[in-house]
């Protein structure tokens, strides 16, 4: 499954009244919006599990086939404290309402530069009948990664990827190429030594070519030019970038590479 992330307006230094691990779920900060709610702790953010696919062997152990990251579960502990039954019931009802929805973005105040995606799969009240309870919110992340804010690297006919947050290969969102005042018959984009796209059939002067890898589109001045791709010489729709890669288009006067880092 793919996700279209948006950059969320967030402060890098949360208000003093908020707990350091305060949760914002689907755009709503629970500590701010529910006066009776207080975040206590968060568990599971740094965990991961990996599923192995193996085959039986005649000898010891198994024969390894492949592996993939499993979903992750983040648990938020909280206090809900009210001085009347009506206030408690109203606060808990509001909490349940704010936690509805599938695959919603969420983040924590001590990590404002990263967004996660998940669904609340369990909400518990461990002390029913009390006006002062400790509960938990369980968020299941089908996508186990945390995603950074959108980034953009710009160059002339070469854009250098030199991002210290890129610890392993990352997806590319878009490549935007500005062409010179002269028309050109062909265009070639390369990413490192592994990925390439070649175009033919003529490209207009002063045009802007946008390769949207997420949506598998290629446009020139807003009009699709997928028919100009030399299919046998192109694999760029599977492209990933790593630190030190160069994105090169010798026909360009400007290249912009847009991406966002994902980390465990």
Q: What is the CATH number of the domain that holds 100?
A: 2.40.30.200
Angle at Cα 169 formed by Cα 166 and Cα 175, nearest 5°? Answer: 90
Residue 105 lies in a domain: yes
pLDDT tens column, 68-92: 999 999 999 999 999 999 999 999 9
Look at residue 16 in the predicted model and tell me its pLDDT.
54
What is the per-residue pLDDT for 21?
96
Alpha helix ranges (H) inside 27-66: 30-33
pLDDT value of position 90:
96
Measured in residues, the chain has a length of: 264
Number of H helices, E strands in the chain: 2, 23
| Rounded Cα–Cα distance for residues 53 and 67 (Å) | 6
**Same-domain status, 28 and 133:** yes
From residue 10, give the alpha-carbon distance in Å to each of 99, 110, 191.
19, 11, 32
Q: What angle do CA 109, 111, 112 make, to 5 degrees?
A: 70
Pair 187, 126 in one domain:
no
Q: Which residues contact 105 (CB under 8 A, 6 or more apart)?
A: 5, 6, 8, 26, 27, 115, 116, 117
Mean pLDDT of 64-71: 94
121 with 172, same domain?
no
Q: Check residue 59 and give its pLDDT.
A: 86
Q: At which of 143, 168, 191 does a domain end? A: 143
Residue 8 forms part of a structural domain: no
Choosing from 115, 143, 171, the residue where a domain stops is: 143
Residue 59: which domain range?
21-143
Q: What is the pLDDT of residue 128?
A: 86
Q: Which of the listed residues 111, 143, 175 is the one where a domain comes to its end? A: 143
* Predicted confidence (pLDDT) at residue 13 exceeds the cutoff of 60: no
- Structural domains in the chain (count): 2
**What mean pLDDT do residues 215-225 have?**
95
């Amino acid at each position: 499954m793919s996700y279209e992330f948006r950059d969320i307006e967030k402060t890098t230094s949360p208000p003093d009244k908020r707990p350091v691990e305060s949760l914002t779920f689907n755009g709503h900060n629970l500590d701010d919006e529910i006066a009776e709610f207080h975040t206590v702790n968060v568990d599971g953010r740094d965990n991961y599990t990996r599923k192995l696919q193996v085959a039986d062997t005649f000898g010891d152990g198994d024969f390894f086939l492949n592996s993939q990251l499993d979903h992750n579960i983040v648990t938020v502990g909280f206090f809900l404290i009210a001085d009347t039954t009506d206030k408690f019931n109203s606060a808990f009802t509001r909490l349940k309402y704010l936690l509805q929805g599938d695959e919603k973005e969420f983040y924590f105040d001590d990590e404002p530069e990263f967004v996660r995606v998940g669904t609340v799969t369990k909400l518990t009240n461990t002390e029913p009948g009390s006006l002062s309870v400790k509960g938990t919110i369980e968020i299941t992340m089908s996508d186990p990664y945390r995603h950074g804010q959108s980034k953009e690297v710009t160059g002339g006919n070469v854009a250098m990827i030199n991002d210290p947050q890129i610890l392993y290969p990352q997806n590319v969102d878009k490549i935007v190429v500005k062409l010179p005042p002269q028309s050109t018959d062909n265009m070639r984009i390369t990413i490192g030594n592994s990925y390439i796209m070649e175009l033919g059939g003529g490209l207009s002067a002063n045009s802007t070519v946008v390769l949207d890898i997420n949506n598998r589109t290629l446009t020139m001045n807003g009009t699709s030019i997928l028919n100009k791709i030399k299919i046998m010489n192109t694999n760029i729709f599977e492209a990933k970038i790593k630190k030190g890669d160069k994105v090169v288009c010798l026909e360009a006067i400007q290249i912009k590479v847009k991406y966002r880092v994902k980390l465990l």
